[in-house]
Amino acid sequence: MSGSGAGVAAGAVPMVEVWRAGRIESAHSGHAVVADATGRIIAAWGRPEVVIYPRSACKMIQALPLVESGAAAGRDDGDLALACASHQGAAMHTSRAGRWLADLGLAEPDLRCGAHEPADRAARDALIRAGREPTQLHNNCSGKHAGFLALARHLRAGPEYVDPDHPVQRAVRAAFEEVTGEPSPGHAIDGCSAPNFATSLAGLAGAMARYAAARGDGDARARAMARLVGAMTAHPELVAGEGRACTELMRAAGGRVALKTGAEGVFVAILPGPGLGVALKIADGATRAAEAAVVAVLARLGILDAAAPAARRRLDAPQRNWRGIETGIIRAAPGFP
As a whole-number percent, the residues of the chain with pLDDT over 70 amount to 98
The residues, ordered by sequence, that sit 6+ positions from 282 with a Cβ below 8 Å of its Cβ are 15, 16, 28, 29, 30, 264, 265, 266, 289, 290, 293
255 DSSP assignment: T
The residues, ordered by sequence, that sit 6+ positions from 291 with a Cβ below 8 Å of its Cβ are 245, 261, 267, 314, 315
- In the chain, domain spans: 13-332
Give bridge partners of residue 331 from the DSSP assignment: 17
For residues 279-288, average pLDDT: 98
Q: At what angle do helices 91-103 and 121-130 cross, to 10 degrees?
A: 80
Tell me how far apart the terminal alpha carbons of the chain are, to the nearest angstrom: 26
For residues 263-290, average pLDDT: 98
For residues 141-152, average pLDDT: 98
For residues 306-317, average pLDDT: 97
Could you read off the pLDDT of 201-237 as tens digits, one per residue? 999 999 999 999 999 999 999 999 999 999 999 999 9
User: At residue 21, what are phi and psi to the nearest 5 degrees?
Assistant: 50, 45
State the number of CA atoms in the 13 A half-sphere of 15 facing the CB: 33
Radius of gyration of the chain (CA): 19
Cis peptide before 337 (omega within 30 of 0): yes
Q: Would the pTM count as exceeding 0.85?
A: yes
For residues 6-22, average pLDDT: 95
> Is residue 65 helix, strand or coil?
helix
Please, what CATH class does the domain formed by 13-332 belong to? Answer: alpha beta
CA distance 28 to 283: 7
CA distance 310 to 300: 16
Query: Closest by alpha carbon to 198, among 59, 52, 61?
Result: 52
Could you read off the pLDDT of 79-99 as tens digits, one per residue? 999 999 999 999 999 999 999
Neighbours of 302 (CB within 10 A): 11
Please state the three-class secondary structure of 109-127 as a single string.
Answer: HHCCCCCCCCCCHHHHHHH
1 pLDDT band (50/70/90 cuts)?
Answer: very low
CA distance 52 to 281: 8
**For position 5, what pLDDT does the model report?**
52
